[in-house]
Amino acid sequence: MHSLDLLQIALETARKNGFSIRREWLGGVAGGKCRLGGKKIIFIDSSLSILEQLEQVTSSLATESNLSLIDMDPALSKVIRAIREARSDLASTSSATI
């Protein structure tokens, strides 16, 4: 699957999970999810490549504890699962070295 197709699926999934999507020219400095006035928003940095924008969206989705991978597109589910596993491994490694 092409990155642009996966980005569109990720954006659709984010919207279905209550996120508003805002595309802003942020110059590569920021992006990701936040809450403003109780609303969940994902800021996508328009200055980034499609692959980097995809990373912003999938990283935001991966932090959603109530996000179900069951009914999700298999390719997107695989990416989010990998992000969650990598974060879990990193947390385990960090706590073991302290």
- Return the amino acid letter for 44: I
Bridge partners, 44 (sequence order): 23
The model's pLDDT over 29-87, given as tens digits with 9 standing for 90+, comes to 888 999 999 999 999 999 999 999 999 999 999 999 888 888 899 999 999 999 999 98
Q: β-strand 19-24 against 39-45: which pairing, if any?
A: parallel
pTM of the predicted model as reported, rounded to 2 decimal places: 0.84
Sheet holding 32-36, edge to edge: 19-24, 39-45, 32-36
List the end-to-end C-alpha distance of the chain, in Å, as a whole number: 40
**Greatest CA separation for the chain:** 41
